[in-house]
Amino acid sequence: MTNNVAAARTSAALSDPELDPSMPAPVPPTKGQTTGRSQGSDARLRAKRRGRARHGSHAVAHVVLGVGGFIMAFPFLWQIIMSLSTNAEVQSVTPHFWPAELQWSNYATVFETLPFLDQLRTSILITVIRTVAQILLCTLAGYAFARMAFKGRAIMLALVLSILMVPSQVYLISQYQLVQGFGLLNTIVGLMLPGLFSAFGTFLMRTAFLNMPQELEEAARLDGANPFQVFWKVMLPLAKPSINVLAITTVLWSWNELLWPLVVSTNSRSMPLSAGLATLIGDKTTDYPVVMAASLLAMAPVLIMFIVLQRRVIDGLAFSGLK
């Protein structure tokens, strides 16, 4: 036992470079190796810090977006609460953030006060006809101004665009006189007639066609297509994003139009919903919960359409914004 311990000590002593000159000295780490290790550790630390900063910035962004979304949605939520409240709770000095009892009868009162279904049918019919007419007429006019060369094109385009500079109230009386002369008061034709064409839609579609490559049109002509075939089969399918924008703006504008229906229509059954809601405002007293309930019911079709066509709506608006 003692001999083994002594032999181990002797071998350890002989392996020490200081005691045995024949043994090679240990090589210390080079400066590059030390620098590489320190750089690797620094890179890992920086990556961790960037990850923490990124997560922190994401959390702040979500909080800001959540607060902004709540602020934007609060009027809609408040409208729902008001539609389920009593008129005394709505008009009280101290605001009631939740009614003591939900008044679902306010929605039934809307159908008792207004010919709601007749007005809804009128609004849908006017909106659909105006949207289809504007898509057809504005695309044709926009393509003609963008791609066709004819005499007086610049003058006609200037006249069309000048309509955008004039408020619609300026020619309201002349439009009313024309509709009255044709005997179209209190009719759907008289309500939708001024909105069949749009200077904005023409300008929008002209811009869309101008941004399309000229080579596509030339290739179609070489294949023997006439001008209408070039428009219908080549150019129009490429303009779908702009057509979506035109359809969205036309639907919203037609559904919310108020002044022209109030001027042309005096019969409650021939009014659209926008004018029908205005009749709920009394001279002396107003049942605000019923007004809020009617507004929510009138808003429902457009809201459902947006939810169903949400992807098309966002893509179309993003495309128009990029252009």
The answer to whether 290 and 280 have CB atoms below 8 angstroms apart is yes
Q: What is the pLDDT of residues 160-176, one digit of tens each?
A: 888 888 888 888 899 99
Over residues 213-227, the pLDDT tens digits come to 888 888 888 888 888
C-alpha 72, offset from chain centre? 14
Domain assignment present for 23: no
**pLDDT, tens digit, 9 for 90 and up, residues 121-164:** 999 999 999 999 999 999 999 999 998 888 888 899 999 888 88
Predicted confidence (pLDDT) at residue 43 exceeds the cutoff of 90: no
Pick from 268, 274, 281, 280: which is nearest to 301 by CA?
A: 274
| Span 92-110, average pLDDT | 86
The label of the residue with tokens 């960037």 reads 50
> What percent of the chain is modeled with pLDDT above 70?
79
Confidence of residue 5 (pLDDT cuts 50, 70, 90): very low
Assigned domain for 234 exists: yes
Q: What is the pLDDT of residue 125?
A: 94
Pairwise CA distance, residues 170 & 193, whole Å? 17
Number of domains in the chain: 2
CATH of the domain at 148: 1.10.3720.10
Specify whether 143 is located in the same domain as 286. Answer: yes
Asked whether residue 301 carries a pLDDT value surpassing 70, the answer given is yes
Separation of CA 89 from chain center: 34
pLDDT at 310 over 90: no
Shared-domain flag, residues 299 and 159: yes
Q: How far apart are CA 60 and CA 65, in angstroms?
A: 9
Reply yes or no on whether the pLDDT at 182 is more than 60: yes
Residue 164 confidence (pLDDT): 86
Domain check: are 292 and 204 in the same one?
Answer: yes
The reported pLDDT for the residue numbered 54 is: 64
For the chain, percent of residues with pLDDT exceeding 90: 30
Tell which wins on pLDDT, 27 or 154.
154
Mean pLDDT of 38-61: 66
| Same-domain pairing of 141 and 279 | yes
pLDDT exceeds cutoff 50 at 17: no
The predicted model gives 35-45 an average pLDDT of 59
Is 204 inside any structural domain? Answer: yes
Exposed e or buried b per residue across 228-261, where buried means at least 16 C-beta atoms within 10 angstroms of its C-beta: eebbeebbbeebebbbbbbbbbbbebbbebeebb
How far is the C-alpha of 71 from the C-alpha of 167, rounded, in Å?
32
Based on the fold, state whether residues 132 and 184 are members of the same structural domain. Answer: yes
Q: Is residue 78 part of a domain?
A: no
Q: Based on C-alpha coordinates, what's the Rg of the chain?
A: 37
The whole domain housing 54 covers 31-73
More confident residue, 317 or 245: 245
Query: Quick one: angle between helices 240-256 and 288-308, nearest 10?
Result: 170
> Which is higher by pLDDT, 23 or 142?
142
Q: Can you give the pLDDT at residue 143?
A: 93
143 and 64 share one domain: no
pLDDT for the residue 303? 87
Which single residue is written with the structure tokens 């002797």? 10
Q: Each residue of 102-115: pLDDT tens digit?
A: 889 999 999 998 99
Q: How confident is the model at residue 255 (pLDDT cuts 50, 70, 90)?
A: very high
Q: What is the pTM of this model?
A: 0.75
Here the tokens at position 39 are 């750089």
Q: Which of 203, 199, 304, 299 is nearest to 255 (CA)?
A: 299
39 shares its domain with 116: no
318 pLDDT tier (thresholds 50, 70, 90) = low
Question: Rounded mean pLDDT of 243-252?
Answer: 90
Best CA proximity match to 114, nearest among 302, 287, 301, 306? 287
User: Which stretch, 29-38, 88-97, 196-205, has highest mean pLDDT?
Assistant: 196-205
Q: Quote the pLDDT of residue 283.
A: 72
Q: What is the mean pLDDT of residues 87-109?
A: 86
